[in-house]
Amino acid sequence: MHHNPKIIVPNANLRDLGGNKTQTGMEVKTGYLFRSGHLSELGEEDFKQFKNLQLKTIIDLRRPSETEKYPTPNLEEVETLNFSVSSDDNEFAVAANFLNGEQLPTEITGKIIEKYFKNSVTKKLDSYIPVFESLTNPDNFPLLFHCVAGKDRTGIVSAFLLGILDVDESMIIEDYLLTNKLREKEMRLKEKQVRDHLVETTENSSETLIEERMEIAQSLLYAKENFITSVFDEVKKNFGTWDNFRLNGLKISDERVKELKNFLLTD
């Protein structure tokens, strides 16, 4: 996995989106567009790798409480733009209480995460419009966008961006699922901690009940293909095509996307 040239810092889920091929035979340039999880725990060598990206802009998709807990390294030459794309009461924030050892409302199931992804295309789309105002401006590159794990909010933004750049959906899925390989050790450890906690604290802890709650935990921990394909489905259902979604959903003009493609894509 470390030999994959796209992967910059595995522990931070930091990788280059360059190399993804479009349906017209172009590909995203390397060295201009990056995605990651939070960057507050970079070791010395990893920090050098991060600094060597020579970023101009960082787009932080997290809530203020998260940025305070996991602050982004401050580099004088890099502008950090904060766009929280999720409120404190969104599906992920509520379900995440479960991983923190708090009581999980009984009506919440693993489907809540898929709902979050679907809502990003519909009910929550307005929160992504200012993100893409900055993300489609060539003056802001090289650019990195991130959340906490670099999985879901980052995955949604990546899917939107690669989709409007005409990258094949199979490659978008592959990009999303790469998180599972990079964070496998961490996620397996957390999964065991959650299961042990459930066995110890769940009243009348039947195996069925524990497995139901583990399904929710796994949805929070792992990238799942149906999450990202639900985004594709909602785009097609509500907008018909990625082009219509780009123009009427994200409010990116024809001129703006043409400029972005000219800058970011190569033969």
Per DSSP, the residues of 185-228 read HHHHHHHHHHHHHHHHH-TT--HHHHHHHHHHHHHHHS--HHHH
DSSP character string of 111-147? HHHHHHHHHHHTTTGGGGHHHHHHHT-GGG-SEEEE-
Q: Give 1-50 pLDDT, tens digit per residue.
A: 456 779 999 999 999 999 999 999 999 999 999 999 999 999 999 999 99
Contact in structure between 38 and 154 (CB atoms under 8 Å)? no
Looking at residue 201, what is its pLDDT?
A: 75
How deeply is 179 buried, as exposed, middle or buried, from its count of CB atoms within 10 A (0-12, 13-18, 19+)? buried
Q: Which residue has the higher pLDDT, 76 or 55?
A: 55
Cα-Cα-Cα-Cα torsion 142, 143, 148, 149, nearest 10 degrees, comes to -60
| pLDDT > 90? residue 164 | yes
For the chain, how long is the longest CA-to-CA vector? 61
pLDDT in tens, 81-112: 999 998 766 666 666 666 555 555 445 555 77
Percent of the chain at pLDDT > 90 equals 69
Give the per-residue pLDDT at 172. Answer: 97
Rounded-to-5 percentages of helix, strand, coil across the chain? 55, 10, 35
> What are 219-249's pLDDT values in tens digits?
778 999 999 999 999 999 999 999 999 999 9
At residue 141 the predicted structure's pLDDT band, cuts being 50, 70 and 90, is very high
pLDDT at 191: 86
Mean pLDDT of the chain: 89
Residue 133: burial class (beta carbons within 10 Å; 0-12, 13-18, 19+): middle
Angle at 264 between CA 139 and CA 136, to 5 degrees: 50
pLDDT attached to residue 183: 85
Question: How confident is the model at residue 105, as a pLDDT?
Answer: 47
